Structure 1
Amino acid sequence: MQAALNFLMLHWKSLLGWVWLLTGIYLAIRIVWQQRSPAATLAWILALCLIPPVGLVLYHFVGPRRVERQSLRRMRSRALLASETDLQALRANNPHPPVWATQHSRLIEASSGIPPSSCSKVERLLGGAATLRSILQAVQCACQHIHLEYYIFEPDQTGKRLLSALTERARNGVKVRLLVDGVGSSALLGWRGRAMLQAFVQAGGEFAVFHPARLDRWRPLVNLRTHRKIVVVDGSIGFTGGINITDEENEEQLPKTAYRDTHLRMEGAGVRWLQYVFMQDWVYASGKHRFEPEVLAPHAPGPFAVHVVASGPDSDGQSIHQSVLHAISIAEQRILLTTPYFVPTEPTFFALMNAALRGVNVQILVPRRSDSWLVTVAARSYFGVLREAGVKIFEYQGNMLHAKTLVVDDNYSMVGTANFDNRSFLLNFEIAVALFSPELNRQLADDFVHDLGRARLVAFNPRSTQWYHRLPASFARLLSPLL
């Protein structure tokens, strides 16, 4: 024993070097094996080699991961069969859709596995107060089941109001399932929400946590979050969009500071795919596979052509990223993009710039100051080149702008949970709805114009600003893949 200790004392530097080297080689092989982009792969390898302790910690908690999930094959077969009936009726009413619409839906289906569908009604909801009222109305009328999935579900006045309504319906025999993210909803999972959740479960409600925030080697704290906001009532009414369950987004609770946000209320066949996405996440997080027979009940097709787009690190399809890229590439007249976090991937950055260079009216609306200083600074590092290409960038001067909408020409738009950044496109679980409707396109375009009334055109050129502005922006931009 003493000889071994003496050997360690004499050669500890050499042993540490070998551990350093072998660990670096092992992690480098793991990174290369994932076949990510060359730039990201090299960046991670350099971080691990040059600053091993820091690089190892960063890779452990924010590095790229793949998530393996169980497939609901039987449920998916039922959904696809019902969807084919919907599509046949939809094509009968509109036998010759534009080529771009057909190709766009084909791309979404190929990358996400979700086919196009339709809705009998689609309503866009502005603000948390209107959204909460609409959700509560649907919940109070529920007869069979209510499914909810949220990134942020706070135990504040807004959360208490909704959870009380859910508890009441569970007590009356409605099957209620609530899934929340382990990081975004940490307050609900703490002592503040304990009594509320206890009452909910005792009333018959089911509750699950998506990736509990634990400091272990399986659960990175920052990435792999469910950023989705989904509500499905009786399989026929669905909600999704940017609005979480929190007083911060409820004008009735915080009229002076509530976020500006957009949500969707849907009825009809398209809700089936919000339901299916929720079911996948529920099975993954809870381990429970049993659902009621009516969860994927058939619906008559409606006049609104829609396509639910779901993406996440459980698939290489990058369906939201791909659909946004394609929508930008087919634009002929205008692109109106609203996003709270603008840290574009390299493909989306060049797609916006190319659209402006070919004469498309590209306008981007971002908050003057988001709730993340680093993201705000990083976003401004992209403004100069985009402005030189002809992109108009506006900074919203009102409360925090949290809406995530895209309007292309006169017939296409998208509303969802994904921000315009690497995290939403590649690292977190997101959902969006592509809308092939001139009416909804016009409404969202009007919302954009209305918001411009509280925005200011970015007139400065970041390239010519003082060094103390450019330097932080340049460093923040290096962190873009992590933001």
Structure 2
Amino acid sequence: MSGLVIAGHPWTFWLGWVWTVSTVTLAVWIILQRKSPVSTLAWIMSLALMPVLGYFIYAYFGPQRIKRQRLRRWHHKAAAMSRQDREALRAEYTEVPEWARQHAALIERASGLPLSSAREVALLPSGGATLRALLREVERARCHIHLEYYIFEPDQTGTQLLQALTARARAGIKVRLLVDAVGSPRLLSRPHRRLLDDFHAAGGEFAVFHPTRLDRLRPLVNLRTHRKIVVIDGRTGFAGGINVTDDENEEIRSDAYRDTHLLLRGGAVRWLQYVFLQDWRYAEGPVPAPDEDLLPQEPPGSLPVQVVASGPDSDTEAIHRAMIDALNFARERAWLATPYFVPTEAALAALTNAALRGVQVKLIVPERSDSRIVTAAARSYYPDLQDAGVLVFEYHGRMFHAKTLVVDERYGMVGSANFDNRSFRLNFEVAAVVFDPGFNRQLAAMFDADLSHCRLVPETRRTPPHQRLFEAVARLASPLL
């Protein structure tokens, strides 16, 4: 019995042509994205095994470029205010280290956000503490409240906050809430529509970042806003790693994630405002013209603070570069905390270089993250780190979700970005860098407190052969994670 013949050729002939054409087309498409060679080759090799289907997989899961318009008027006004901050800071700190000036210049050129100042920077060590502070500031709002979250759950925590926002909107406060479509599907679902209907009825404005619609050919997993931003009256801001969910509220769940957030007051908040407004315009449409309420004139503070934002709308990878640069100028200590550790080659080299120079490098990661393959990929890097002298600690008991970096005696970073390819290159992230010894000591003390819940990973870690194989395979997928 002969096989299927089409137009004089066996079906395998046509299958081979379909495979070849789809693979070449897909390879050209991926190459034109001009991503890192390792990531590009990993995608081509993976998708070549899935002809035709690879088009849809890459379209909805692959890294792609997007273009967004810059809010030039907003940026010009905020930059003019920040120049006054910098002049006041120079007058107070006459001997600013060269590394700090260069680092601030790198961030500004990579992200467009210059050094600014703050009157107050407060560490918030948990979701419960963050929610309490947030509800307090929401109640004090007089003009507007802007919120942007990756995860906003309609659970006890989310309901409490959304009801507070609804009450303030009803009182005449302008409230804008932006959530990510992938991170907040339950809030957008039909069973919880009443919460949003009440919010809309009170005058609140709501937008969704990259809605998951099949008629829009964009990735479902990447190009997400992973940012957590709140700006109140243009004077008070929140940023960090804590989402709005019971999973991160220890006052509701005893096993809630361990995470870190920041409260800021002063001029640096204007740049959180700028980042939010840029995302809001991209997701929803025009925003109001610059005015005194949205960008109020704040007196310069005494704390040098720089907001750094990054995302797939830029090839500069501002947070990635900032962290590598901070590790490169470290001379005494570099303490990194991250829930997902899947470093780029440059980031791994920066960590190990610091340790080889004699810098005390400590890394805290969760014993088990909420992704088994990410945990395995992270552990595949342990030998490289330990051979260089990095001390690796695994946090036990609950999920560790803090994203912080302490360098030497006057540098601290808190933000939303994980130490992985996804945060560095595929999602929209934001962080705050504080150049202050007092803040550095507080952040270091928090890191030390977390170490009490950790175990030092031994250099002779015993791993069964099948687990070593799984970790090695997971590492191969690192560019895609």
**Could you state the TM-score of these two structures normalised by the residue count of structure 1?**
0.95
**1:63-462 maps to which residues of 2 (within 5 A)?**
63-216=62-215, 218-254=217-253, 256-291=254-289, 293=291, 294-462=293-461
Corresponding pairs, count: 477
CA distance in 2, matches of 1:245, 1:465: 37
Partner of 1:3: none
Using the TM superposition, give the Cα deviation of residue 291 of structure 1 relative to its aligned residue in structure 2, in angstroms: 4.9
CA distance in 2, matches of 1:165, 1:466: 51
Asked if structure 2 preserves the Cα contact closer than 8 Å seen for 1:44 and 1:55, the reply is no
Q: Which moved more, 1:150-159 or 1:53-62?
A: 53-62
Asked if structure 1 preserves the Cα contact closer than 8 Å seen for 2:42 and 2:477, the reply is no
Using the TM superposition, give the Cα deviation of residue 12 of structure 1 relative to its aligned residue in structure 2, in angstroms: 5.2
What is the percentage of aligned positions where both structures have the same residue? 57
Match of 1:400, SS?
coil
Equivalent AA in structure 2 for residue 395 of structure 1: E
Using the TM superposition, give the Cα deviation of residue 350 of structure 1 relative to its aligned residue in structure 2, in angstroms: 1.2
Using the TM superposition, give the Cα deviation of residue 467 of structure 1 relative to its aligned residue in structure 2, in angstroms: 0.8
Using the TM superposition, give the Cα deviation of residue 53 of structure 1 relative to its aligned residue in structure 2, in angstroms: 4.2
Asked if structure 2 preserves the Cα contact closer than 8 Å seen for 1:384 and 1:461, the reply is no
Partner of 1:26: 25
Match of 2:398, SS?
coil
Equivalent AA in structure 2 for residue 176 of structure 1: V
CA distance in 1, matches of 2:413, 2:84: 24
Partner of 1:477: 475
Q: Deviations over 1:398-441 (max 9, x none)?
A: 22111100000111010000011110111000000011010111
Using the TM superposition, give the Cα deviation of residue 11 of structure 1 relative to its aligned residue in structure 2, in angstroms: 6.2
Match of 1:180, SS?
strand
Q: Which moved more, 1:210-219 or 1:388-397?
A: 210-219
Q: Deviations over 1:172-207 (max 9, x none)?
A: 111000000001000100123210000000100000
CA distance in 2, matches of 1:253, 1:42: 45
Asked if structure 2 preserves the Cα contact closer than 8 Å seen for 1:163 and 1:200, the reply is yes
Match of 1:188, SS?
helix
Match of 1:225, SS?
coil
Asked if structure 2 preserves the Cα contact closer than 8 Å seen for 1:155 and 1:192, the reply is no
Asked if structure 2 preserves the Cα contact closer than 8 Å seen for 1:242 and 1:404, the reply is yes
Match of 2:117, SS?
strand
CA distance in 2, matches of 1:150, 1:217: 22
Equivalent AA in structure 2 for residue 271 of structure 1: V
CA distance in 1, matches of 2:42, 2:365: 28
Equivalent AA in structure 2 for residue 326 of structure 1: D
**Could you state the TM-score of these two structures normalised by the residue count of structure 2?**
0.96
Equivalent AA in structure 1 for residue 475 of structure 2: R
CA distance in 2, matches of 1:196, 1:446: 39
Asked if structure 2 preserves the Cα contact closer than 8 Å seen for 1:60 and 1:217, the reply is no
Partner of 1:465: 463
Using the TM superposition, give the Cα deviation of residue 20 of structure 1 relative to its aligned residue in structure 2, in angstroms: 3.2
Equivalent AA in structure 2 for residue 84 of structure 1: R
Q: Deviations over 1:441-483 (max 9, x none)?
A: 1011111111111110001435x63311201101111111122
Asked if structure 2 preserves the Cα contact closer than 8 Å seen for 1:71 and 1:280, the reply is yes
Using the TM superposition, give the Cα deviation of residue 15 of structure 1 relative to its aligned residue in structure 2, in angstroms: 4.2
Q: Deviations over 1:125-157 (max 9, x none)?
A: 010111001011110010100000000000001
Asked if structure 2 preserves the Cα contact closer than 8 Å seen for 1:212 and 1:219, the reply is no
Q: Deviations over 1:50-109 (max 9, x none)?
A: 432454343222212011112211111111112112222221222331100000000000
Match of 1:80, SS?
helix
Match of 2:294, SS?
helix
CA distance in 2, matches of 1:135, 1:9: 71
Cα distance change of structure 1 residues 167 and 291 upon mapping to structure 2, 3 Å threshold: farther
Using the TM superposition, give the Cα deviation of residue 297 of structure 1 relative to its aligned residue in structure 2, in angstroms: 1.6
Asked if structure 1 preserves the Cα contact closer than 8 Å seen for 2:339 and 2:418, the reply is yes
CA distance in 1, matches of 2:337, 2:317: 20
Using the TM superposition, give the Cα deviation of residue 9 of structure 1 relative to its aligned residue in structure 2, in angstroms: 8.1
Asked if structure 1 preserves the Cα contact closer than 8 Å seen for 2:355 and 2:390, the reply is yes
Equivalent AA in structure 1 for residue 449 of structure 2: H
Cα distance change of structure 1 residues 49 and 137 upon mapping to structure 2, 3 Å threshold: same
CA distance in 1, matches of 2:10, 2:39: 35
Asked if structure 1 preserves the Cα contact closer than 8 Å seen for 2:73 and 2:290, the reply is no
CA distance in 2, matches of 1:7, 1:328: 61
Asked if structure 1 preserves the Cα contact closer than 8 Å seen for 2:304 and 2:435, the reply is yes
Asked if structure 2 preserves the Cα contact closer than 8 Å seen for 1:215 and 1:221, the reply is no
CA distance in 1, matches of 2:275, 2:140: 23
Using the TM superposition, give the Cα deviation of residue 283 of structure 1 relative to its aligned residue in structure 2, in angstroms: 0.2
Equivalent AA in structure 1 for residue 355 of structure 2: A
Asked if structure 2 preserves the Cα contact closer than 8 Å seen for 1:150 and 1:227, the reply is yes
Match of 2:385, SS?
helix
Equivalent AA in structure 2 for residue 456 of structure 1: R
Q: Deviations over 1:21-63 (max 9, x none)?
A: 3333222222222222222222222333343245434322221
Using the TM superposition, give the Cα deviation of residue 292 of structure 1 relative to its aligned residue in structure 2, in angstroms: 6.2
Using the TM superposition, give the Cα deviation of residue 246 of structure 1 relative to its aligned residue in structure 2, in angstroms: 0.4
Match of 1:296, SS?
coil
CA distance in 2, matches of 1:49, 1:401: 36
Equivalent AA in structure 1 for residue 170 of structure 2: R
Aligned-pair Cα RMSD in Å:
1.7
Q: Deviations over 1:223-281 (max 9, x none)?
A: 11100000000000000001000011111111x21111110000000000000000000
Structure 2 unaligned blocks of 5 or more: none
